Structure 1
């Protein structure tokens, strides 16, 4: 009978990565004591005799602590030491032949990089797959395309309905483990069983602490459930409550109160067309803007901001966007991503993919053309920053599915705005026609959403402590609703003012009305409908 493996923290060895003076066997045992659950012995340059000696001594250490041992590539070594399993590459021995040579209870793993390889691996009866490379790595020459967490999620779709386990590999370290795990979940909920780590543990002078850090993250991811009693979170579907709309209005107003109480610092990397009006809108809502674009500032800023907006309408400073997002994730700050004009050029599409593969967005906001391009949908076309055509035939279903795929809240802006957390979809019908006639009105919505997200973030950190304040998609869902409502409700007040004669006088009036807006106004004037998606 095959053993049941815990793949949570899968260590792949690499003696060439050991720090000066660190003994390999000492490092291995310390790693296991730190939480490693599976060990793969990889020796690409050792001859057979040396590999055998290392494998035998490694097995003795693994057996001592009850940790299974896997041999990379070499079936003869696995047979010689009685290893628990082997791991094969795409160009190694076929699974069927390997299975015929090995004892029936041997675990067999396979490296995969494409959906076709995943499906074939499942058909061939492997026990687990190593999906990657997730990110670039210095531990081996990477020739296969980098997947990123979103790409890993696509690979996992091929394992749905099977018992095949999965680990992600390449470039994984303590600073990106949570993003890898969180971003690699399919829209149907299939998640990774663990992460495979090499240099972050083997190359550490304290491998026990390095392993513990990653092991704790994996454990937290697998065990974490949104707290049912969180101030701004409702964990059951909204439609199960007969007073859902009233509840949403009340909670959106409460989020606005948190903005005014905590006056969060909102970091905005935005396009040059709207920088000034975005800053003014942030101030009007009761928060504080900082429009910093120097990569060197990102580490310090990440420690003090309440939230981050990344808007690449006039796309530049890509390195800054990457660094800011990494720091936001590290410091548990929400990220609002506004992929302005993402469908206009191949460069924008590639940049958006790189950003979303590097950090986890909390909210993605865009018009129909932008979100269609992000989802690789042909239903809606874009021209520059504008959408072309009638829009989605079923916008509610589209954004619900996109929210599930991206593991975040999605905001679809238009004549009617839609917001979804992947479970619930709401339609928001506030707004004035003048909004469509001013440059950057959609960008202002992104700023408002980021400000509301920052307010929730500061509230969570204040209530739970800066290190332990955690946000859920429920929090971001409410913040996104509130952020959209703030701009659209303010626009209704601005549009009917006597001093507003057209779009030229409308913009300053809109800023005025954002400054006058109060939580109770948001609650009283919000037009919210819950959209049921079958």
Structure 2
């Protein structure tokens, strides 16, 4: 059998250990069931086996992998690879060097190596291996660890350099590899990974420009009473997580979010609210919670002074849409645009009346909004699409996801703004000359729809984040993730018994996440349910 190593699927990488096999089964049977359940590559790792026994068991397992069209990798033993004509070999840092192995196996065989730090990852690039096993991520009983587990943060650090095309030679004498990376090196995480943590490992182990290609597992399949079921469950989890993390836009957002939350607290942007009277206190508290500085003012005489404050931004909330308010909105926009500051528009109740539609139209004609944020009815009205389903200032009913993206893209395209449509599922789009970025978010607790001003205070967060960062798309996505994930955590505290007790718990959790982010704890972001579209 000939396998093209350029298209090998590393998503569920099974490593064997005969000592873990249940009494009711055999190693061959466990591997067979695992392959049937979706294992995509098998490594035969039998440290205690004699050469003859190793080869005999290898023949049986190779027959299974050949039939399934997946590679068989042999751990450490070059002689066994040659005897079986297996598809590849995996070695550790203390085993035979890669150039010697390549010389014996030729260019078509797969060579993988274990790496546990940045220096080993860079050497793997120099040696031009096909994949690396990164770990150990967590503690494991299947291998005696010489080093402490690296955690997902350690995996991320390795991924930052593993396929970094920006790392070039430092001198002609060869201080580094002397060439840019010719091709991408695949990667799997290993060490204590199982069905319960595989998703979080994949979602937490990434860099802005790279991601894992799979997870390597041992005991959770080899030791399972039902290896087929265990593998199938793992495969479904891993494939869904990998599909999400293959999106560079998502990786950039998740990589930036924790940093942005911390940076907002450290920068303390000034957020000027021109908002409705119903939410002033809630909005001010929410702004303070993330470390920003709020001001609620519709006094035209102080707009110019406010706009000159470093890291200032303006939120225009149309909740109180009087003719006098329109004039103040326009004056505020002009003051902030004069200082090249960000302005965010929340077209509250835009489709509720003809008057509000007129106010919105005049604001859009002045233009220049960094972000436009609203519910489905508001964004539909802003996009000039007929059929906005509203009752007063509330949006009722919902279009299909496809239709919602179509509406948001229309507004983003015509205004040049980042557009966020909130709802049970949140839609975020930015359209520019180079590309269109589109994401779908599914975080958030239902209590957000049962309190006054939930959308308005999200506008406060979006404005605070937009003041600090040039990329308003990522800033808006980060603010949204902070808000919606905090809402889920608030209910999980056990102190929430309804919408009334939800609000203080929500504020507490946003503060808590801000503190965690400032302490470089990014584990909360693994809860993100964000998808490419």
> Under a length normalisation based on structure 1, what TM-score does the superposition of the two structures give?
0.50
Taking the aligned partners of 2:237 and 2:444, their CA distance within structure 1 comes to 32
Q: CA RMSD in A?
A: 4.1
Q: Deviations over 1:129-168 (max 9, x none)?
A: 1111111111111222322223212211222244211111
1:16 aligns with 2:25: no
Structure 2 partner of 1:259? 447
* Deviation by residue 1:83-113 (Cα, 9 ceiling, x = unmatched): 1000000000010111112233111000001
Q: Which SS does the other structure have where 2:142 is aligned? A: coil
**Aligned in 2, Cα 1:186/1:47: closer, same or farther, shift over 3 Å?**
same
**Aligned residue for 2:515?**
339
Q: CA deviation at 1:9?
A: 0.8
For 2:187, the equivalent position in structure 1 comes to 166
Matching residue within 79, 82, 85 for 2:85: 82
| Aligned partners of 1:266 and 1:290 also within 8 Å | no
Structure 2 unmatched ranges of 5 or more: 166-182, 251-399, 427-442, 452-486
Pick from 203, 215, 220 the counterpart of residue 200 of structure 1: 220
Q: Distance in 1 between matches of 2:47 and 2:204?
A: 31
Distance (Å, rounded) in 2 between the aligned partners of 1:97 and 1:237 = 58
**In 2, are the aligned partners of 1:268 and 1:310 still within 8 Å (CA)?**
no
Establish whether residue 472 from structure 1 lines up as the match of residue 530 from structure 2: yes
Kindly indicate whether the alpha-carbon contact (under 8 Å) linking 2:15 and 2:43 is maintained by their aligned counterparts in 1: yes
Q: Is the 8 A contact 2:444 2:488 kept in 1?
A: no
Q: Which of 57, 62, 67 is the aligned partner of 2:60?
A: 57
May I ask how many residue pairs the two structures share in their alignment? 308
Whether the 8 Å CA contact 2:203–2:526 is kept in 1: the answer is no
Residue 198 of structure 2 is aligned to residue 177 of structure 1 = yes
* CA distance 1:20–1:285, change in 2 (3 Å): same
Matched, 1:26 2:29: yes
From 85, 92, 95, the equivalent of 1:92 is 95
Mapping 1:307-386, distance limit 5 Å? 309=509, 337-339=513-515, 352=521, 356=523, 360-362=525-527
Segments ≥4 residues shifted beyond 3 Å: 222-241, 247-252, 254-258, 260-270, 282-291, 306-312, 340-343, 359-362
Equivalent position of 1:214 in the other structure: 234
Structure 2: distance between partners of 1:100 and 1:70: 17
Q: For residue 3 of structure 1, what is the aligned residue in structure 2? A: 4
Tell me if the contact between 1:266 and 1:308 (Cα under 8 Å) persists in the aligned partners.
Answer: no
Whether 1:117 aligns to 2:293 is no
Unaligned ranges ≥5, structure 1:
292-305, 313-336, 344-348, 363-407, 409-470, 475-534
Picking from 61, 71, 76, the partner of 1:73 is 76
CA distance in structure 1 between the partners assigned to 2:97 and 2:190 by the alignment: 21
2:342 paired residue number: none
Are residues 307 and 205 of structure 1, via their aligned partners in 2, closer, same or farther at CA, if it must alter by over 3 Å?
farther
**Cα distance change of structure 1 residues 243 and 235 upon mapping to structure 2, 3 Å threshold:** closer
C-alpha spacing 1:26/1:257, structure 2 compared with 1 (3 Å):
closer
Among 412, 415, 431, the alignment partner of 1:242 is 415
For the 8 Å contact 2:408–2:421, the answer to whether it is kept is no
